Structure 1
Amino acid sequence: MSLKSHFKTLVPGASSSAGSLEVTAPFDGSVIGSVELADAAAVEQALDIAAALHADVSQRLPAWQRISILKKAAGLLTERAEDFALESAREGGKPLIDSRAEVSRAIDGIHCCIETIRTQHGEEIPMGLNPASAHRLAFSSHEPIGPVLAYSAFNHPMNLIIHQVFPAIATGCPVIVKPASDTPLSCFRLVELLHEAGLPPAWCQALAIKDRGLATATVGDRRIAFFTFIGSGKVGWMLRSKLAPGTRCALEHGGAAPVIMDDTADLNLAAPLLAKGAFYHAGQVCVSVQRIFAPSTMIRELADKLAAEAARMKVGDPTLEEVAIGPLIRTKELERVEKWVEEAIAAGAKLHSGGKRFSSTCYGPTILIDPPPACSVSSEEIFGPVVCLYSYEDLEEAIDRANHVPYSFQASVFSQNMDTIFRAYRRLNAKTVMVNDHTAFRVDWMPFAGLRESGLGIGGIPHTISDMQIEKSLIFQSPSL
Structure 2
Amino acid sequence: MKSYDLWIGGEWRRAARYEPLYAPYGGDKLADIAAASAAEAEEAIVNAHEAFLSYRNMPAYKRAEILYQAAALLEERSEACIRILVQEAGKPVKAARGEIARTAETYRFAAEEAKRIAGDQIPMDAAAGGTGRIGFTVKTPIGVITAITPFNFPFNLVAHKVGPALAAGNAIVLKPAEQTPLSALFLADLFRDAGLPDGVLNIIPGGGAELSEILTTHPHVKGVTFTGSPEVGRIIQRQAGLRKVTLELGSNSALIVDEGIDVASIIDRCVEGAFVYNGQVCISLQRVYVHRSLYEEFVARFVRRTEQLQIGAPGEESTDVTSLISNKALQRIAEWVDEAVQGGAMLECGGMVLEHQILAPTVLTGVNPSAKVVAEEVFGPVVSIAPFDTLEEAVAAVNRSRYGLHAGIYTPRIDRAFYAAREIDAGGVIINDIPTFRTDQIPYGGRKDSGIGREGIRYAVEEQMDTKFISFKLQP
Normalising by structure 2, we get a TM-score of 0.96
8 Å CA contact 1:331–1:360 kept in 2: the answer is no
Q: Which secondary structure state, in structure 1, belongs to the residue aligned with residue 225 of structure 2? A: strand
Q: Which of 136, 155, 159 is the aligned partner of 2:156?
A: 159
Q: Is the 8 A contact 2:248 2:452 kept in 1?
A: yes
Amino acid at match of 1:73: A
1:149 paired residue number: 146
CA pair 260-211 structure 1, distance change in 2 beyond 3 A: closer
SS class of match (1:78): helix
Does 2:24 correspond to 1:26? yes
1:368-401, CA deviations, whole angstroms, 9 ceiling, x for partnerless residues?
0120011111110111101100112233222212
- Which residue number in structure 2 is paired with residue 196 of structure 1? 193
Match of 1:250 among 246, 258, 262: 246
1:415, distance to aligned residue in structure 2 (A): 1.4
- Pairs within 5 Å for 1:74-473: 74-210=71-207, 212-244=209-241, 246-473=242-469
For structure 2, the residue ranges without an aligned partner over 5 or more in a row are: none
Distance (Å, rounded) in 2 between the aligned partners of 1:60 and 1:22: 40
- State how far apart, in whole Å, the 2-side matches of 1:323 and 1:91 are: 16
Q: Which amino acid aligns with 2:22?
A: T
What SS does the corresponding residue of 2:124 show, helix, strand or coil? coil
Coordinate RMSD, CA, aligned: 1.8
User: What is the DSSP-based 3-state SS (H/G/I as helix, E as strand, rest coil) of the residue aligned with 2:173?
Assistant: strand
Shift in Å at residue 62 of structure 1? 2.3
Check conservation: 1:328, 1:362, Cα contact below 8 A. Answer: yes
For 2:60, the aligned partner's letter is A
> For the structure 1 residues 58 and 40, does the alpha-carbon distance in structure 2 shift closer, same or farther, using more than 3 Å as the test?
closer
Change (3 A) 1:188 1:167: same
Letter in 2 for 1:19: R
Structure 1 segments unaligned to the other structure (5+ residues): none
The count of corresponding residues between Structure 1 and Structure 2 is: 475
- Counterpart amino acid of residue 181 in structure 1: E
Q: Which contiguous aligned blocks of 4+ residues in structure 1 show a shift greater than 6 angstroms?
A: none
Q: CA deviation at 1:211?
A: 6.5
Counterpart AA for 2:381: P
Which AA in structure 2 matches 1:358? L
Asked whether the 8 Å contact 1:314–1:322 carries over to 2, the reply is yes
Shift of 1:294: 1.1
Aligned equivalents of 1:99 and 1:159: distance in 2? Answer: 10
Tell whether the 8 Å contact from 1:148 to 1:225 is kept in structure 2 after alignment: yes
How far apart, in 2, do the equivalents of 1:180 and 1:211 lie? 8
Q: CA deviation at 1:197?
A: 1.2
Q: Write the distance in 2 (CA, Å) between the matches of 1:103 and 1:227.
A: 25
Q: Please report how far the alpha carbon of residue 153 of structure 1 lies from its aligned counterpart in structure 2 after TM superposition.
A: 0.3
Q: Distance in 2 between matches of 1:150 and 1:58?
A: 18
Q: Is the 8 A contact 2:5 2:15 kept in 1?
A: no
Residue 189 of structure 1 and its aligned partner are, at CA, apart by 0.2
Cα distance between partner residues in 1 of 2:338 and 2:239? 37
> What is the letter of the counterpart of residue 237 of structure 2?
R
Letter in 1 for 2:338: E
Shift of 1:5: 5.4
Maintained 8 Å contact 1:259/1:413: yes
CA distance in structure 2 between the aligned counterparts of 1:227 and 1:31, rounded to whole angstroms: 32
* Structure 1 position 471, deviation (Å): 1.9
Q: Deviations over 1:239-282 (max 9, x none)?
A: 110114x3111000110111111221221122111100000110
SS of residue matched to 1:470: strand
Instruction: Indicate conservation of the 8 Å contact 1:271/1:309, yes or no.
Output: yes
TM superposition score normalised by structure 1? 0.95
SS of aligned partner of 1:241: helix
| SS state at 2:21 partner | strand
1:52 matched to 2:50 = yes
Please state how far the C-alpha of 1:210 moved relative to its aligned partner. 2.5
Shift of residue 60, structure 1, vs aligned partner: 3.5
Query: Does the 8 Å CA contact 2:51/2:197 hold for their aligned counterparts?
Result: no
